[in-house]
Amino acid sequence: MLELYGTSLRSRLLLGTARFPSPAVLTAAVRASRAEVVTVALRRESGGERAGQGFWSIIRELGVRVLPNTAGCHSVREAVSTAHMAREVFATAWIKLEVIGEEDTLQPDVFGLTEAARILCAEGFEVFPYTTEDLVVADRLLAAGCRVLMPWGAPIGSGRGLNNLFGLTALRAHFPAVPLIIDAGIGVPSHAARALELGFDAVLINTAIAQAGDPARMAAAFAQAVEAGRAARRAGPIEPRDLAAPSTPVIGTAFRE
């Protein structure tokens, strides 16, 4: 079981709800993914007003836990006030904290991120920070009170998979007890399986499912990949090696010197 801020979850696939062709397709994809947590971009989806009631009620009717996010926030202040609004709309202390620092890559502004995390944790929020694989930043986020980290695989929506394998495996090794969720850049189910094989606790997928030709089918594919990756991790993968290692013993084989 995956445990996030005291909540136990069976599914290790979290689903973002933006950019689906329609709420009906979103609903079908959430069901097919068997996700128990969905993220919602409060700011962009509702235009920053408390006016998205139609969409919010569709999200609530999904019957899954909502992890509101601060997508589209570029400053500490914006992110903090969006978190306040999220707490009111969805009655949850959970907040996926994004503070964007660069427009082209949507790379997190890790300085603003740690500052906003400190403020929100002190206010009693349970913060899921969207961060890079940087170890020092991770350390600061944990010191700020975060108990889950969400490192990126690649830039948001890029579909490039796990860009910096060395950095990500180092992060995993450094913080063996902290739930780590790969947050962005996953393109296909094999990327997700890889993340779980490497020991990451879960993945969050949005664009790769929402913009697929058949989002519900892709959601089901991701669900299988995540399960396969997790099972493989628990089963203990072999270490890769440079030379062939025959699976059948050769010593004593007839006609062989």
| 107: β partners | 102
CB 32 within 8 A of CB 220: yes
| Strand 2-4, strand 7-9: pairing | antiparallel
Choice between 124 and 213, CB closer to other proteins? 213
For residues 78-92, one letter each, b for 16 or more C-beta atoms within 10 angstroms of the residue's C-beta and e for the rest, the string is: bbbebbebbbebbee
Instruction: State the Cα–Cα distance between residues 132 and 141, nearest whole angstrom.
Output: 11
Sign of CA pseudo-dihedral 78, 84, 88, 90: positive
Amino acid identity, residue 154?
A
Q: Find the binding residues for other proteins in span 196-235 (CB under 8 A).
A: 211, 213, 216
Cα–Cα nearest to 135, from 175, 108, 98: 175
- Stretch of residues binding other proteins (CB under 8 A), selected from 16-24, 80-88, 144-152, 166-174: 16-24
| Residue span 107-136 as binding mask against other proteins, x where in contact by CB under 8 A, dash where not | ------------------------------
CB 5 within 8 A of CB 201: no
10 classed as catalytic: no
Does 63 engage in binding with other proteins (CB under 8 A)?
no
Does 47 engage in binding with other proteins (CB under 8 A)?
yes
- Stretch of residues binding other proteins (CB under 8 A), selected from 47-55, 94-102, 116-124, 192-200: 47-55
Q: State the residue for tokens 């964007």.
A: 100
| 38: β partners | 15, 66
Does 179 engage in binding with other proteins (CB under 8 A)?
no
Q: Considering the complex, what minimum distance in angstroms separates the CB of residue 197 from other proteins?
A: 27
Choice between 51 and 173, CB closer to other proteins? 51
Does 101 engage in binding with other proteins (CB under 8 A)?
no
Note the residues at the interface with other proteins (CB under 8 A): 21-25, 27-28, 44-49, 51-55, 58, 72, 157, 211, 213, 216
Active site residues: 96
